[in-house]
Structure 1
């Protein structure tokens, strides 16, 4: 998947979309699992998904082939390149498709709360579907406050990539102090301080090094038990910020900014890790696929991302997110739609076919160990991270990932440049986040 919820621009858009979706009309509490034609009746269902590239579209079609064979009475019409705002507008207009999928797990809270996506509990119960076939973190990001309105369809997990040639025999770091020491050792500079090779670029503006992916390694608790902001009260956030700023300052903020301006595109062969300009980077499992295509001669390894020195028992976990799929309110064929969703999210052959084609993690425990997976050896790290009980995700809220967006803006615009006192800044951030949550009904 190329759309990742941790990225600031995508996160801001997702937050805006979820607020828009809150205005959808209609009841959110009715059981629609018995409406429309029975699943065994002849019918056509329309399925909207976000993939757009030719190989992605083909991958989705290939994954659906088994369903078509098993359910010849159901004609499946696949519609590619659909965004969250198109989905929202269709639901608001009372003319949605039968099945919708999204890359934006952060929107699940609002979709569940508003009823824009149907409650799937009645469907799950009637099918006697065992949700424990999905890892705990996956179960969490597909529901909100006990209301399940989504099912998981492939996942993104994050780990550490390292350039073996630049490492010169060094082992991948397991702790943050090891990461810091190795980052300094592997960094190469010009006499004026300009960074030629970064051992590790700590800035939140470096692609996937957003707080959602890195602060998670510090064991942060994003929201407290009451669902309110927790930035000023959780010592893990302060530990993350101190680590971030210490390495930023070692490089020199001006040098960091200069390096960031020189970077190539994330999803092109000019990516600095693929060009040997970065020795270590936290990235998603999909990078293995891009390296295979864009830098096939790159000698690299993967490992779980490091954790703080006093949390070594948590090593092996990482941040998890993924594509979600559900039935929108107003679906005209909800029973057939559920059969489609159940197949696509639980059938091992379908999941493995899809995962192989896209280079993403399949989302059931059985599919993770399927001999049909044909992904590169470096991909094994991400399968292990996905299964690790220490892996986690950001919790859903009524206004999507607004709290994540605000924290990243704080780190990027105030903390890294050294413009704010940490304690005061985090306290102010808590106030802003809580006001936004209150407005959204949180």
Structure 2
């Protein structure tokens, strides 16, 4: 799975939440509603993958389910996003199973009831949630309602171009990263960037705050579920570091370099073209490099951490695809059998991971000898199960707090329009909290 743009569907889910809640089977427990799983039936499954190799990978992954449940015909519908899913639920004509690329929307899915709470199914079949890493358990539920399960995962690490590193070892701390970024940068005669050691700006693809800020030990929301930007000193430390390195490059030089970059998911990506020595990216880049730039020699290592957090080195940011059963699904028992198989069966997950170049989302699958991925992929398997790995907390309005923070950094902080950082973060907290209250959070 290559990453997809995250869509905020707050208004749609808010409207969905006030509609009359109805469950399949006229009020029965979802584990007893609808046809028995053993009955002959067809379930419709919506997913977001659309490229031919992605669609094939999904089909290959469920081959075992079809053999195990010959009475259940699975109709796969590709290229579906959260908006289409929620419109279908709202209209009362949802598919039986849906998957979403956006863990940021789990809070909305669960709190609105758009996706059913899977807890009764999990308890009935005694599914051990400890097969999933703690961060994954976190992003598949909201306030105790587990309306999704994980279906493969993405995590992030530092890619280093061996030729451009000139014999230097990959950094483990932010100070090492900063020193190397300056040492490995090559400038044109006019001072513009020819080769970037490491570009800290959030306008560089995956260098967004949710992937970099965890290196500084930030806590996004406080115990009351409110914005924590001003109270957590980790945010100020992260932002000051980022701005100092941008200023070293020159803000205009950074902008010019960013505007000259190729497409992130094409062979023109600057890391693949040898224009960037170090970059934070997801595990999918391994497959891209294998197919688009096989001559590039590179390493992968965990993302460096701030110098006062060296014991946390090895972790990283985790997210991934989630899957669930919509409210109003007509075949909930068969749907659950499908969801359970695809999210807990080791062979299915390994087949899917091999086909997409993603991280399998259970601990047993991580250890499977059937995983056939390049050596550099090992880092992502290790990051995924590292106890220091983190994710973004769920909220009732999805990733709105992340969107607002990124806008603050991109539009105000990086250009130097914030005279007082603490005041700016305090104002940001107020904006985020007001939006949460408006959404009912």
TM bin (shorter chain): over 0.9
How many correspondences in the alignment?
A: 434
In the TM superposition, what is the alpha-carbon distance from 1:168 to its structure 2 partner? 1.2
> What is the DSSP-based 3-state SS (H/G/I as helix, E as strand, rest coil) of the residue aligned with 1:22?
helix
Segments of 4+ in structure 1 off by > 4 A?
A: none
Deviations along 1:227-251, one digit per CA (max 9) or x if unpaired, are 0000000000001001100100000
2:397–2:436 contact (8 Å) kept in structure 1: yes
In the TM superposition, what is the alpha-carbon distance from 1:18 to its structure 2 partner? 3.1
Deviations along 1:223-279, one digit per CA (max 9) or x if unpaired, are 000000000000000010011001000000000000000000000000000000000
> What is the DSSP-based 3-state SS (H/G/I as helix, E as strand, rest coil) of the residue aligned with 1:77?
strand
Structure 2 residue 433 is matched with structure 1 residue 437: no
In structure 2, the gaps of 5 or more residues are none
- Alpha-carbon distance in 1 for matches of 2:402, 2:133: 23
2:14 to 22, 39, 49: 22
| Partner residue, 1:7 | none
> What is the DSSP-based 3-state SS (H/G/I as helix, E as strand, rest coil) of the residue aligned with 2:15?
coil
| Partner residue, 1:425 | 424
> What is the DSSP-based 3-state SS (H/G/I as helix, E as strand, rest coil) of the residue aligned with 2:230?
coil
In structure 1, the gaps of 5 or more residues are 5-9
1:18–1:111 contact (8 Å) kept in structure 2: no
In the TM superposition, what is the alpha-carbon distance from 1:19 to its structure 2 partner? 2.9
In the TM superposition, what are the counterparts of 1:275-294 in structure 2 within 5 Å? 275-294=273-292
- Aligned alpha-carbon RMSD (Å): 0.9
In the TM superposition, what is the alpha-carbon distance from 1:205 to its structure 2 partner? 0.4
In the TM superposition, what is the alpha-carbon distance from 1:33 to its structure 2 partner? 2.4
> What is the DSSP-based 3-state SS (H/G/I as helix, E as strand, rest coil) of the residue aligned with 2:62?
helix
In the TM superposition, what are the counterparts of 1:143-154 in structure 2 within 5 Å? 143-154=141-152
- Alpha-carbon distance in 2 for matches of 1:149, 1:57: 24
- Alpha-carbon distance in 1 for matches of 2:91, 2:286: 40
| Partner residue, 2:259 | 261
- Alpha-carbon distance in 1 for matches of 2:114, 2:85: 10
2:22–2:328 contact (8 Å) kept in structure 1: no
- Alpha-carbon distance in 2 for matches of 1:306, 1:185: 17
- Alpha-carbon distance in 2 for matches of 1:135, 1:424: 37
1:206 to 204, 207, 217: 204
- Alpha-carbon distance in 2 for matches of 1:28, 1:253: 54
| Partner residue, 1:86 | 84
In the TM superposition, what is the alpha-carbon distance from 1:20 to its structure 2 partner? 1.1
| Partner residue, 1:415 | 413
In the TM superposition, what are the counterparts of 1:39-438 in structure 2 within 5 Å? 39-420=37-418, 421-438=420-437
